[in-house]
Chains A and B, each alone.
Chain A
Amino acid sequence: MRQHNRNIRVKIRMPDGSFLDFEGPREVRAILRRLNILENTVLVVRGEELLTPDRLLRDGDTIELIPVISGGCHEVQTL
Chain B
Amino acid sequence: MKCRLCDSTAIAALPRHNSGFCRTHFIEFFQKQVRKAIRKYAMFSRKDRLLVCVSGGKDSLTLWHVLNESGYDTTGLYIDLGIGGYSRASLEKAESFAEGIKRELIVVDFAREYADIKRLAALSKRTDCSTCGVVKRYFFNRVALEQGFDVVATGHNLDDEAARLLGNILRWQIDLVRKQSPLLDSDEGLVKKVKPLFRLTEQEIAIYAFLNRIDYLREECPMSRGTTGLIYKDILNRIELESPGTKHFFYFQFLERRDDLFSDGAVERKDRPSLCRRCGMPCSEQVCAFCRLTDYLKRSGQTPDEPA
- Residues from chain A with a CB closer than 8 A to the CB of B218 are 66-67
- Residues from chain A with a CB closer than 8 A to the CB of B133 are 73, 75-76
Assuming the A-B contacts A38-B238, A45-B210, A52-B1, are A71 and B12 also in contact, with contact meaning beta carbons closer than 8 angstroms in the complex? no
Nearest residue in A to B201 (C-beta to C-beta)?
Answer: A40
Q: Is the CB of A38 within 8 A of B13?
A: no
- Residues from chain B with a CB closer than 8 A to the CB of A68 are 58, 202-203, 205-206
Give chain A interface residues in 43-79, CB to chain B under 8 Å: 43, 45, 49-55, 66-79
**In the assembly, what is the distance between CA of A79 and CA of B140, in Å?**
11
Nearest residue in A to B190 (C-beta to C-beta)?
Answer: A79
Q: Is the CB of B225 within 8 A of A76?
A: no
Question: Chain B's interface: helix, strand, loop or mixed, by majority?
Answer: helix
**In the assembly, what is the distance between CA of A41 and CA of B221, in Å?**
17
Q: Is the CB of A73 within 8 A of B129?
A: yes
Q: Is the CB of B232 within 8 A of A74?
A: yes
- Residues from chain A with a CB closer than 8 A to the CB of B210 are 43, 45, 50, 66
Nearest residue in B to A43 (C-beta to C-beta)?
Answer: B206
**In the assembly, what is the distance between CA of A74 and CA of B173, in Å?**
13
**In the assembly, what is the distance between CA of A74 and CA of B229, in Å?**
5
Q: With an 8 A cutoff between CB atoms, is B199 at the interface?
A: no
Nearest residue in A to B285 (C-beta to C-beta)?
Answer: A79
- Residues from chain A with a CB closer than 8 A to the CB of B220 are 70-72
Q: Is the CB of A70 within 8 A of B58?
A: yes
Question: Chain A's interface: helix, strand, loop or mixed, by majority?
Answer: loop
Give chain B interface residues in 207-222, CB to chain A under 8 Å: 207, 210-211, 218, 220-221
- Interface size (B, Cβ < 8 Å)? 57
**In the assembly, what is the distance between CA of A77 and CA of B103, in Å?**
28
B159 to chain A, nearest CB (A): 7
Assuming the A-B contacts A40-B240, A41-B237, A52-B11, are A74 and B163 also in contact, with contact meaning beta carbons closer than 8 angstroms in the complex? yes
- Residues from chain B with a CB closer than 8 A to the CB of A79 are 137, 190, 273, 282-284, 288-289
- Residues from chain A with a CB closer than 8 A to the CB of B11 are 49-52
**In the assembly, what is the distance between CA of A53 and CA of B244, in Å?**
14
**In the assembly, what is the distance between CA of A51 and CA of B207, in Å?**
11
- Residues from chain B with a CB closer than 8 A to the CB of A66 are 206, 210, 218
Assuming the A-B contacts A53-B13, A77-B179, A78-B284, are A72 and B225 also in contact, with contact meaning beta carbons closer than 8 angstroms in the complex? yes
Give chain B interface residues in 112-165, CB to chain A under 8 Å: 129-130, 132-133, 137, 159-160, 163-164
**In the assembly, what is the distance between CA of A20 and CA of B220, in Å?**
22
Interface hub of A40, A41, A70 (most chain B Cβ within 10 A): A70
- Residues from chain B with a CB closer than 8 A to the CB of A71 are 57, 59, 160, 220-221, 224, 229-230
- Residues from chain A with a CB closer than 8 A to the CB of B241 are 38-40
Q: With an 8 A cutoff between CB atoms, is B304 at the interface?
A: no
- Residues from chain A with a CB closer than 8 A to the CB of B196 are none
Q: With an 8 A cutoff between CB atoms, is B107 at the interface?
A: no
Q: Is the CB of B1 within 8 A of A54?
A: yes
- Name A's B-contacting residues (CB within 8 A): 38-43, 45, 49-55, 66-79
Please list the 7 inter-chain residue pairs (A to B) with the smallest Cβ-Cβ separation, ordered nearest first.
A72-B227, A73-B129, A72-B224, A72-B230, A68-B206, A74-B229, A75-B133
- Name B's A-contacting residues (CB within 8 A): 1, 10-13, 20, 57-59, 129-130, 132-133, 137, 159-160, 163-164, 167-168, 173, 176, 179-180, 184, 190, 201-203, 205-207, 210-211, 218, 220-221, 224-230, 232-234, 237-238, 240-241, 273, 282-284, 288-289
6 chain-A/chain-B pairs, Cβ below 8 angstroms: A40-B201, A43-B207, A49-B11, A66-B206, A67-B218, A71-B230
